[in-house]
Amino acid sequence: MNEDTNPHISIDCVIFGFDFEKLNVLLLERRLEHEDPSIAFCDQSLVGQHIKLKESLDDAAARILFETTGLTNIYLEQFYAFGAPDRLNKERAKIWLKSIGRDPAVQVITIGYFSLVNTNTVQVSYNPRHASWCDVKKVENLAFDHDQILKKGLEALRLKIKSEPIAFELLPQKFTLSQLQKLYEVVLDINIDKRNFRKKALQSDYIVALSEKQKDVLHKPAQLFMFSREIYKATKKEDFSFNFK
């Protein structure tokens, strides 16, 4: 660990992306090669690092996100702190920490952030450790306590997406109402009545209809819409909700 790094505080980012079909999370490969096959392993982890000395939590999260994805100015929110004394007690965690010269007995507090990325227009790559998008429903047995962090991050996203219009961070600037509905369905893991959803969406001044339709699609092109943050700020009420049913 670098001398300018705080050994007791780390940041883990749950980076969500939507591909029009499913909700994904960005994971990094963690590979330990060893002459003893019983010790060698390969698994996955969330995106995370220790914070630097004299670095704020928000600055550290933004830096880690940029170093991993090359992205700036994307949605990023702190959602939970993880500090259980035994959170690094998994056998693989101990082996991994020892392999990089760290003491598994040292307690580390991790601050969880979740961020939202439009995966349809962004290509993410990370050379030091292979990065890949994975369906959140199929993720299991992550490194350390990252399964718990992912679960908490998803809970925070589901709560926030029903109270603020953050869903649009996961969509391209121009989208169809079917794509918007599918996004809410996969994030909230529910089925939504199409007619009711379209009615609610069209009643929202901040979802603006464009004089454009989809291009290069095999089916009948659908009308495109955009989210106007300016209109939302000018007209928003205390509660943001499409009243999903």
Residue 156: pLDDT band (50, 70, 90) is: very high
The span from the CA of 14 to the CA of 26, in Å, is: 7
Length of the chain: 245
Token code pair at residue 121:
């227009």
Residue pLDDT, tens place only, 192-226: 999 999 999 998 889 999 999 988 777 788 999 99
pLDDT at 28: 92
Q: Which structural domains are found in the chain, ordered by start? A: 5-161 (3.90.79.10), 174-235 (1.10.10.10)
The span from the CA of 128 to the CA of 29, in Å, is: 9
HSE-up of residue 23 (Cα within 13 Å, Cβ side): 27
Task: Please give the backbone phi and psi of residue 98, each rounded to the nearest 5 degrees, phi first.
Answer: -65, -35
The span from the CA of 116 to the CA of 156, in Å, is: 12
Q: How far is CA 166 from the centre of its chain?
A: 12
User: Would residue 88 be called left, alpha or beta, if left means φ above 0 and alpha means ψ between -120 and 50 degrees?
Assistant: alpha
Of 4, 138, 26, 137, residue with least CA distance to 74: 26
The span from the CA of 70 to the CA of 63, in Å, is: 9
pTM, two decimal places: 0.90
Mean pLDDT of the chain, nearest integer: 88
Task: Please give the backbone phi and psi of residue 120, each rounded to the nearest 5 degrees, phi first.
Answer: -80, -20
Residue pLDDT, tens place only, 172-184: 999 999 999 999 9
3-state secondary structure of 50: strand
pLDDT at 126: 62
pLDDT at 63: 94
How many helices and strands in the chain, by DSSP H and E? 6, 9
pLDDT at 34: 74
Residue pLDDT, tens place only, 66-124: 888 788 888 999 999 999 988 888 888 888 888 888 888 889 999 999 999 888 666 66
Residue 134: pLDDT band (50, 70, 90) is: very high
Given a cut of 70, whether residue 31 has pLDDT beyond it is yes
Cα Dmax for the chain: 63
Contact 57, 63 (CB under 8 A): no
